[in-house]
């Protein structure tokens, strides 16, 4: 007898269930990000976490959707060139992406993919390179980021956990504004503090945090954003 196939739940909550409580929380995160830029509009942002499996990639995707739904021409960059995820979330090919663009082996028109969501594009990670950190610190990457910033209203970069590898710190040097995702069900206070300190030390500004995986009733979770003082 064939095993019954389990139903897969899409992580694109805001798109699939726009009137849900979770979707409203994500719109609240978008509003808080916007108000964090009191002196100047935040046009680019990195999302990282204090440890793996905190849900940062799902947070990235859904925050991006809220911007796209608000009419912003939005780009997600999968900056995790070690364990990329965005191609799976949006069901996209990853033969060409960020790593190809940085070394000049792809065209933007090929590497940046349209999604089924209006105003939302994704630059997947591309093939995993042997030297992600070197690519991030390269002049080519910073020139690419400047071009993309001119071409999109809002860019959000999904980066590896900040306490695991240095990539998020390297991105923070150029992007500056950061959101830290914290696993609300299982976290270590000192690790969270360390994550924030590493971002600040690299020149980043932690504008807020998202407390993820907080169960409020059986079978449901929510996302909570709080701004940095």
Residue 190 domain-assigned (yes or no): yes
Question: Looking at the domain assignment, is residue 110 inside a domain?
Answer: yes
CB within 8 Å of 66: residues ≥ 6 apart: 14, 23, 26, 27, 29, 30
Q: Looking at residue 212, what is its pLDDT?
A: 86
Tell me, yes or no, whether 141 lies in a domain.
Answer: yes
Q: Give the integer Cα–Cα distance in Å for 11 and 91.
A: 11
12 in a structural domain: no
Structure tokens at 60: 């990235």
Does 102 fall in a domain? yes
DSSP helix/strand/coil, 228? coil
Is 2 a domain residue? no
Q: How many domains does the chain have?
A: 1
**What's the CATH code of the domain at 112?**
3.40.50.300
Sheet of 74-78, strand order: 112-114, 120-123, 74-78, 154-158, 44-49, 177-183, 205-217, 220-227
The pLDDT score that the predictor gives to residue 1 is 46
* pLDDT at residue number 215: 65
Q: Percent helix, strand and coil across the chain, each rounded to 5?
A: 40, 20, 40
Say if 29 falls within a structural domain.
yes
pLDDT (tens digit per residue) in 122-133: 999 999 999 999
Which stretch of DSSP H or E encloses residue 173?
A: helix 167-175
Which parts of the chain sit beneath pLDDT 50?
Answer: 1-7, 218-220, 222, 225-229
Question: Looking at the domain assignment, is residue 10 inside a domain?
Answer: no
**pLDDT tens digits for range 190-210:** 999 999 999 999 999 999 999
Stated pTM of the model: 0.90
Instruction: For residue 37, give its domain range.
Output: 18-227
Tell me the C-alpha distance between 59 and 56, whole Å.
5
């Amino acid at each position: 007898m064939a095993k019954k196939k389990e139903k897969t739940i899409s992580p694109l909550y805001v798109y699939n269930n726009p009137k849900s409580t979770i979707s409203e929380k994500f719109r609240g995160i978008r509003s808080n990000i916007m108000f964090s830029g009191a002196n100047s509009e935040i046009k680019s942002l990195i999302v990282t976490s204090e440890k793996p499996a905190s849900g940062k990639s799902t947070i990235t995707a859904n925050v991006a959707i809220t911007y796209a739904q608000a009419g912003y021409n939005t780009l997600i960059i999968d900056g995790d060139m070690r364990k990329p995820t965005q191609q799976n979330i949006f069901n996209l090919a990853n033969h060409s992406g960020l790593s190809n663009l940085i070394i000049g082996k792809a065209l933007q028109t090929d590497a940046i993919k349209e999604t089924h969501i209006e105003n939302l594009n994704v630059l997947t990670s591309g093939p995993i390179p042997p030297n992600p950190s070197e690519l991030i610190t390269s002049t080519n990457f910073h020139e690419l980021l400047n071009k993309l910033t001119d071409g999109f209203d809002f860019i959000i970069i999904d980066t590896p956990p900040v306490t695991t590898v240095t990539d998020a710190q390297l991105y923070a040097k150029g992007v500056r504004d950061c959101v830290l995702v914290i696993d609300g069900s299982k976290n270590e206070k000192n690790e969270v503090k360390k994550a924030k300190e590493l971002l600040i030390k690299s020149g980043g500004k932690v504008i807020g945090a998202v407390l993820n995986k907080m169960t409020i009733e059986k079978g449901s979770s929510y996302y909570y954003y709080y701004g940095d003082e």
